[in-house]
A and B are shown apart, each in its own frame.
Chain A
Amino acid sequence: MAEMTYREALNQALREEMERDPDVFLMGEEVAEYDGAYKVSKGLLDAFGDRRVVDSPIAELGFAGLGVGAAMAGLKPVIEFMTFNFSILALDQVINHAAKIRYMSGGQIPCPIVFRGPNGAALQLSAQHSQACETYYVHAPGVKVVTPATPADAKGLLKAAIRDPDPVAFMEGELLYNMKGDVPDDDDFVIPLGVADVKQEGDDVTILTHGKTVHVALQAARKLEKDGVSAEVVDLRTIRPLDVETILASVRKTNRAVYLEEGWSFAGVGAQIVSLVQEEAFDWLDAPVVRVTQADVPMPYAKNLEQLAKPSAERVVAACNRVLYR
């Protein structure tokens, strides 16, 4: 175990996987000479050279597509989006190509590629830079979506994503990069995709979430504890594949669930989870599953409005009380 930041954990995962497999290369805006817009790729250019750590032009559609083509031909690209907000430009290459190539080709053409970068809002970056994009990705069969919330998860899951034979959208949290935590430092620390993590055990209500909002959920759980409510926090870690069993087991235990996510509500990840829970744990529910999401508006700039728009621990507590009939 070593204590390190989320950023360092990602860096270590990239470094170890690039050492392990010569077909792995990193491409994106500012990843090489600049050491990465968020310094996730710090030092990698020096370690691996400019063939494997590549500064791209600002052309998300283009370099995402180049990555997909390279993956089709046998390489294992890691494509960094400076933020997933910009990846919307590249969605055609992800949804229409990466996700479908294997299927359209009858299983012949592989596409082992990782798209990674920070996702969701940071602070006062306003509407175009503050979006949680996981719904766009998780909607399409063929793509896997990973959302690590802690340094250890960031490392173990990124290593798994790079080794995965399918396209993976790996969504980090800008506000998490400086977060510290214990991380196993052995080369084979890989967390399999599709395994959720119960971040806190509880009996009365289940807060389901993924990514950055895991920490909002934990904060809400602490507040609820003061009111004598024992909340369980389930971190999906990967949205697709989805650890359905862990979700259902928790709901069957507590009989109540709240889905917390950073993104918008309509057809959001929570909507899928609600559908799943009502379908597969109907007889264990004592209340409808309630969601806490971003306000259904573009992210405003003003600090107070931004705070209002984001899902807060208070709103999670209120949602928990609602499903607890308190």
Chain B
Amino acid sequence: MAETKTVDDETRTDGAGGLRGVDPDTALRLMREMLLYRRFEEKAEEAYAIGKIGGFCHLHIGQEAAAAGSILALDEGDYVISAYREHTQALAKGIDAGAVMAELFGRATGCSKGKGGSMHLFDYERRFMGGHGIVGAQVPLASGMGWKIRYRDEDHVVVCFMGDAAVNQGAFHEALNMSAVWNLPVIYVVENNEYGMGTAFSRVSRTEIHEKACSYGIPTSIVDGQDVLETFVAFRDLAAGVRGGGGPRFVDLRTYRFKGHSMSDPVSGTYRSKEEVEGKVKNADPIATLRDVLLEGGHLDQESLEAMDSEARTTAQEAFDFADESPFPDPSELYADVYAELGDGRMFFDGRERPEGSV
């Protein structure tokens, strides 16, 4: 059986008020990032409510530390791939807030040219390899990216996010097995927010999440995903281990979703109580937790905090304005990007004239 460790014990040793091995600049950066994610998602929520965003829209509010703590611990050349609750992860990987918001709005300036939407954010240059909409199906893709790194003897890692429900999918198990067999540089991260949509994880599994990778011989960590400092340190260490050829890692990143599964789902109801959610919001808000640490440790004062938050709000508003002012994709985009190039023979069979300018 592979090793399973809880990071808490190692990283909390320097006391509640301390930064636990994280330098103050990084801690402030984590704060700034998480504030941006929060304000961005609130702005998205507002935009959805007034019809600027359509379809499914899954907010990450409450899980900001899981994105900031993990992704900010990576190098630029590392890959991130995720499921469909990925707005803040895209921001964390360096995609401009305007480009993300414009994608949610379905505009030509979106990071996927308006063709992907909320669930399919991509940025090849920043190695953000997508939001993916089929639960668990991105896990083998991450193994493939790990394969490429090993194939070319590169020094990168892949971080693959998934929800807790993904561990019951076959693709998850097939992918973890292959990564273990071939020692691929992938960190598989379960953002364990306890519920797969409206189903408590305990109702659909007899074993715990952290047990899932054991049979493949993949070392597993349990990390408090509401504590961004702990998360950051854990991922910094994990990435270093993987980069050194240590093979895949599996993380049970414990977090909590403050909002409904998607914009069209209730925050609480039949599957979890209002009191449960209120208790988490009050006691386990990752932004409040870091704020308290920074204020208590004297790394940040109230005024700077407010300035920081104001900046986040401004960025979110600017992202909104940018998206709202951006054009919709040109009709010629309808048939673009289905294939890399069109050679001999017919590719499209709908009998329609393709818009002028189409490939």
What residues of chain A have their CB less than 8 Å away from a CB belonging to chain B? 25, 51, 56-57, 59, 61-75, 77, 92-93, 96-97, 101-110, 112, 141-142, 144, 165-166, 192-195, 238, 240-244, 272, 276, 279
Contacts and interface: CB of A to CB of B under 8 A. Distances in A.
Interface in B130-161: 130, 132-134, 137, 139-149, 151
Nearest to B124: A108
B98 interface: no
Contact of B122 (A25, A109, A144, A192): A109
Contact of A66 (B123, B147, B345, B351): B147
B116 interface: yes
A62 B340 contact: no
A65 B129 contact: no
Nearest to A196: B345
Contact of B351 (A96, A241, A279): A279
B339 A142 contact: yes
B148 A74 contact: yes
Interface residues of B, number: 55
Contacts of B343: 192-194, 241
29 contacts: A51-B151, A56-B178, A65-B143, A69-B81, A69-B143, A69-B145, A70-B144, A71-B144, A73-B148, A75-B148, A102-B337, A102-B338, A103-B338, A104-B112, A104-B116, A106-B111, A106-B113, A106-B114, A106-B116, A106-B337, A108-B125, A109-B122, A141-B338, A142-B338, A144-B339, A194-B343, A240-B347, A241-B343, A243-B346
Nearest to A59: B174
A109 B129 contact: yes
A206 to B, nearest CB: 18
B115 A103 contact: yes
B175 interface: yes
B49 interface: no
A242 B346 contact: yes
Cβ-closest 9 pairs across A and B: A69-B144, A194-B345, A65-B140, A62-B174, A241-B345, A106-B113, A194-B344, A69-B141, A165-B340
A74 B81 CA distance: 15
Interface of B: 79, 81, 110-116, 120, 122-125, 129-130, 132-134, 137, 139-149, 151, 170-171, 173-175, 177-178, 181, 336-349, 351
A163 to B, nearest CB: 11
A97 B347 contact: no
A122 B122 CA distance: 42
B116 A62 contact: no
A288 to B, nearest CB: 19
Contacts of B349: 242, 272, 276
Contacts of A61: 140, 170-171, 174
Contact of A92 (B114, B137, B177, B339): B137
B122 A96 contact: no
Contacts of B133: 96
Given A102-B337, A107-B337, A65 B171 contact: yes
A68 B122 contact: no
A319 B348 CA distance: 29
Contacts of B181: 57
Contacts of A25: 151
B137 A96 contact: yes
B337 A75 contact: no
Nearest to B172: A62
A66 B151 contact: no
Nearest to A89: B170
Contacts of B173: 62
B329 to A, nearest CB: 9
Contacts of A75: 147-148, 151
Contact of A241 (B132, B175, B347): B347
A106 B110 contact: yes
B142 to A, nearest CB: 6
A98 B342 CA distance: 17
A106 B112 contact: yes
A91 B137 CA distance: 11
A274 to B, nearest CB: 12
A63 B129 CA distance: 18
Contacts of A242: 345-346, 349
A72 B129 contact: yes
Given A69-B140, A69-B144, A105 B346 contact: no
B57 to A, nearest CB: 16
Nearest to A113: B144
Contacts of A96: 133-134, 137
Contact of B177 (A57, A70, A141, A240): A57
Given A61-B171, A104-B116, A194-B344, A72 B147 contact: no
Given A105-B122, A109-B129, 9 more contacts: A65-B141, A68-B140, A69-B146, A106-B337, A108-B123, A165-B340, A165-B341, A240-B345, A241-B346
- Among A96, A108, A192, residue most surrounded by chain B Cβ atoms (within 10 Å): A108
